[in-house]
Structure formats: structure tokens, C-alpha cells
């Protein structure tokens, strides 16, 4: 029976040099935990050159096979149904039965779901401007991966039976060459990246206020309890977005950083602090963020701000709304009676903000169920509002442009049944010379327009100001 091959490599505190070595291959991606700051994320993951890529195009789901069809799949126009079927095939392969479950990803599906992938889950309006050329969703089927386990200080190249001997030898050679170059201090210099202008919003202060008042009217009419209203900030650039990613990574450490190169001139640069869903040996976990306040300029001011957030009745109420929404979402697919909330209103601190974070848990009893839980819960309630469907309808009505990768998810579904995913907030999309990022906040009945408007700038400022300071000449 074929089995996976585990090749021990020297421990890598960062997989960025390895990413540089393999990024010339198709669809490279790095899930990059910034582990020194955040104990919840213990692994870094690196992939490239998928066996297949699954993505929708013009109302059809395309599977671009690299060499040959590994699985015969049903004909469907819904990519989520096709991915459910594909993942069931993957986890039923004989070689996956004895695969280690202490590794997060041993090969399988990895990629992103844009926010508009929610249209494959529910019937929703679509009246926004679509001016970003990224696929609505794109997942690769990867036959090898590099995984670093930071607590164990180990790095391994994992080769699945899908991967040819020629390819595995080629990847190992590239990685070994990179290690020797590092020892000789011949690291590759960063490529050029330049912004052409400052970031500008797709909403003026007055237009934001008008949309804010429309949300408040919907809330007062009983349509909804909370709506996440977001602005988009855009600029133009030339050069290598990976250089921008590395700069932001240095100044904005987050537990769910990721870089996905989609084409020579398209990439996702994510610096998300928020987990969407984790599946660890059948245990499902979600950690929604709702409640934000700026960091203080002095230790005393910083503690005062943190205490203010922890005591805020408004922020706690918002957080509880989303916890209830997620309990309902997970209840659609998790085992009856397994939904629990082990943590409410915990404080988590990042470079520019403090957040309130809660934890919701459930359980599944089959390895192929993780992808069903993900699809039935998508998109995350913390970035829509409540009730979810009505909030998404209002978002479509009020936001002028598509969200694209923003408020979607970067996710992997491993062949061993493990899964982890982020909510793609604090995320930029580089698209053919244009670069976009977004920031929003949950509006409720007692929200104050000026405070909510300013909060969007607080959330996005570390990204935009860093890029403007370093790369705008």
C-alpha cells in the first residue's frame, strides 16, 4: 500500500526563504503564523504546483488537471458541491487511513474562498461593482507540502503518493540549495515594490454617514440586529507584492498571515488575526472577533483602553450576537449536543488594536465532514451581521464594490481530516497593478457614526500607512 513520505529538514523559524525558492512554481502559497507572538498557531505551511485547481468561471466550475484526472466527479455548477465530493474521495484514499493526525496538512486542498462565494450557499442579490479579476474561489489539490511545527522545532517535507519521484526530488533539491545559500549569507534581496499614490476610500465621510443611517433604519425596523459595513481603500502599484507582504509581516505580526500568489500580477496578502474554523481530530472550533479599540500610546493608556473594551456593554452585546449566530451555524452540521462556548469576551492584543474574542466549539464524527461544516457556516458571521442572510442582503445594497478575498477565508482541508481557516480581514488584494484593502465594523442600534467611521481607519491604518511610508516615493 502506498504511504506518505516524511523527510526531516533543518528547523526553519520562518518558511519565507523556502517560499522564495519555490515561488516560481504555479500557485505557491505560504500560511505563516508569526509563531513567536501567538501560541494558538503552531504551524507554518508551504505548498506549490497543485495537481489540480478548482475554480468557478462564468457560472461553471472548472477543474484544471495538471496531468491526468485522479477522480471522476459529478457534473455540477456549484463548486462547493463538487469540492465536497472531491474531499470525500481524498480522505477515503487507502494511504490516508494511517496518516498521522498530529500534522495539520499532509496534502489535500488549500486556497481561498472570496466573500462572494456565499452566493453558492444562499440565494443572494448581486448588484455590486465587480472590478477585481480574482476568481470567486480557488483551491489547489496539492501533492506535497512543507510543514514547520514550532513547539517541536521541526520542519518536514511531506510527500504524498500523488507526487512523482521526479517532482519530490526536484523540490528537495530546491530546499537543500536554499539552506546552503542561507549558510553562505547569499540570501536573495527583496524585489522592488512601489505605490503610485496614497490609498483612497470608495466612500466619503458623508456617503458613509448616509449608509450608516440606512443600516440604523433597518435595525429600528426590525430587519436585523447588526450589519458589518465596510469601506474599500485602493491604490496602484508596480513591482512584487511579496515585498510588500514581508514589510507588513514585520510590522503587523498576526497569527493567520498568508501569501497566495495567483498569477504573475495577482496575489492575496493576508495579515488576519481571526480564525474562522478549525477541525482538530474531529473537534470544531471558531474564534469570532467582535469588539475593537485602538492601542494606547503609553502603557497606562494602553491598559485603560483594554479595560474599557473589556467592560464595554455594547461590544460584549455585539460579540454575543455573533456567538449565537455561530452556535446556530455549527449546529447545522455538528453532532447534536456538542456545541459549547468555553470562552466569552477574551482580550487579544495586536500591533494597532485590542479585540474581544470568544470561542465556540462543536464535534463531527467523520473525517470528510470538516468541509461540510465550513461550507454550511460560510461566510463567517463576525463579518456579516445578524441575522446573516438579511445582513448580507443589506451589505450588497449599500457597499458599492465587491469584497473579493476580503471577509472570505484562506483554508486548507487536509487528506488526514484536519482543517483550519482564517477570516480574511486585514487583507490586501493585488490585482494587475491595482491594490485594495478593506475595513469595516459591526453596526448595532446604539452605534455612533463618527466612532464607527474612525474605527475602520484604526483597523486598516497599520497596513496603509506602512505601505505609504515605505513604498510611496
Q: Active-site residue numbers?
A: 274, 290
Asked if residues 190 and 243 have their Cβ atoms less than 8 Å apart, the reply is yes
Contacts of residue 292, defined as CB under 8 A and 6 or more positions apart, other chains included, come to 309, 315, 353, 354, 355, 356, 441, 455, 458, 459
**Torsion sign, CA atoms 458, 462, 468, 469:** positive
Residue carrying the nine cell digits 455549527: 330
Length of the chain measured in residues: 473
Cα 103 to Cα 418: distance, rounded to the nearest angstrom: 8
3-state secondary structure of 109: strand
Q: Which three cell numbers stand for residue 79?
A: 463548486
Distance in angstroms (rounded) separating the CA atoms of residues 15 and 260:
14
Sign of CA dihedral 295, 296, 297, 303: negative
Q: CB–CB of 89/381 below 8 Å?
A: no
Where would I find the beta strands (DSSP E) of 240-352?
Answer: 256-263, 266-272, 275-280, 283-286, 289-294, 340-349
Instruction: Extract the C-alpha cell encoding 195.
Output: 505605490
Cβ atoms 239, 191 nearer than 8 A: yes
The distance in angstroms from the start CA to the end CA of the chain is: 58
CA-CA distances (angstroms) from residue 6 to 31, 135, 146?
Answer: 19, 33, 10
For CA atoms 332, 333, 339, 343, give the dihedral sign: negative
* C-alpha cell read off for 263: 498569477
Give me the residues paired with residue 336 across strands.
none
Q: CA 383 → CA 238, 387, 407, 423, 443, distances in Å?
A: 30, 12, 6, 8, 11
Which helix or strand (DSSP H or E) is residue 217 part of?
helix 205-220
Amino acid at each position: 500500500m502506498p504511504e506518505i513520505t516524511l523527510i526531516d529538514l533543518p528547523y526553519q523559524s520562518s518558511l519565507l526563504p523556502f517560499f522564495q525558492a519555490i515561488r516560481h512554481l504555479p500557485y505557491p502559497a505560504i500560511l505563516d503564523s508569526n509563531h513567536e507572538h501567538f501560541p494558538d498557531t503552531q504551524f507554518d505551511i508551504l505548498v506549490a504546483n497543485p495537481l489540480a485547481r478548482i475554480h468557478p468561471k462564468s457560472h461553471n466550475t472548472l477543474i484544471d488537471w495538471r496531468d491526468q484526472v485522479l477522480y471522476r466527479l459529478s457534473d455540477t455548477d456549484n463548486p462547493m458541491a463538487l469540492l465536497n465530493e472531491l474531499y470525500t474521495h481524498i480522505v477515503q484514499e487507502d494511504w490516508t487511513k494511517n496518516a498521522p493526525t498530529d500534522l495539520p496538512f499532509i496534502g489535500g486542498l488549500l486556497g481561498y474562498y472570496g466573500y462572494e462565494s456565499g452566493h453558492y450557499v444562499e440565494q443572494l442579490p448581486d448588484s455590486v461593482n465587480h472590478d477585481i479579476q480574482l476568481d470567486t474561489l480557488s483551491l489547489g489539490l496539492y501533492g506535497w507540502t512543507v510543514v514547520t511545527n514550532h513547539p517541536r522545532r521541526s520542519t518536514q517535507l511531506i510527500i504524498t503518493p500523488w507526487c512523482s519521484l521526479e517532482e519530490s526530488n526536484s523540490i528537495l533539491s530546491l530546499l537543500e540549495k536554499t539552506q546552503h545559500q542561507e549558510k553562505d549569507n547569499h540570501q536573495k534581496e527583496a524585489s522592488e515594490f512601489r505605490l503610485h499614490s496614497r490609498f483612497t476610500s470608495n466612500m466619503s465621510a458623508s456617503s458613509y454617514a448616509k449608509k450608516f443611517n440606512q443600516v440604523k433604519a433597518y435595525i429600528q425596523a426590525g430587519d436585523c440586529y447588526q450589519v458589518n459595513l465596510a469601506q474599500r481603500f485602493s491604490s496602484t502599484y508596480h513591482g512584487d507584492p511579496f515585498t510588500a507582504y514581508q514589510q507588513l509581516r514585520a510590522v503587523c505580526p498576526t497569527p493567520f498571515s498568508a501569501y497566495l500568489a495567483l498569477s504573475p500580477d495577482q496575489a492575496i496578502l493576508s495579515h488576519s488575526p481571526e480564525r474562522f474554523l478549525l477541525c482538530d481530530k474531529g473537534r470544531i472550533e471558531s474564534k469570532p472577533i467582535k469588539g475593537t479599540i485602538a492601542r494606547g500610546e503609553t502603557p497606562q493608556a494602553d491598559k485603560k483602553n483594554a479595560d474599557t473594551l473589556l467592560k464595554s456593554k455594547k461590544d460584549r452585546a455585539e460579540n454575543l450576537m455573533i456567538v449565537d449566530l455561530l452556535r446556530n451555524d455549527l449546529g447545522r452540521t455538528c453532532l447534536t449536543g456538542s456545541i459549547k462556548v468555553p470562552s466569552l469576551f477574551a482580550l487579544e492584543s495586536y500591533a494597532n488594536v485590542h479585540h474581544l474574542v470568544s470561542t465556540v466549539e462543536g464535534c463531527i464524527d467523520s473525517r470528510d465532514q470538516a468541509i461540510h461544516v465550513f461550507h454550511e457556516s460560510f461566510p463567517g458571521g463576525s463579518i456579516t451581521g445578524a441575522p446573516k442572510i438579511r445582513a448580507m442582503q443589506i451589505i450588497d445594497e449599500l457597499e458599492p464594490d465587491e469584497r473579493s478575498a476580503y471577509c472570505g477565508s484562506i483554508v486548507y482541508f487536509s487528506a488526514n481530516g484536519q482543517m483550519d481557516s482564517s477570516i480574511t480581514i486585514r487583507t490586501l488584494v493585488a490585482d494587475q497593478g491595482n491594490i485594495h484593502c478593506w475595513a469595516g465594523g459591526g453596526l448595532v442600534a446604539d452605534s455612533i457614526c463618527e466612532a464607527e467611521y474612525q474605527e475602520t481607519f484604526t483597523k486598516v491604518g497599520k497596513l496603509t500607512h506602512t505601505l505609504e511610508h515605505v513604498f510611496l516615493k
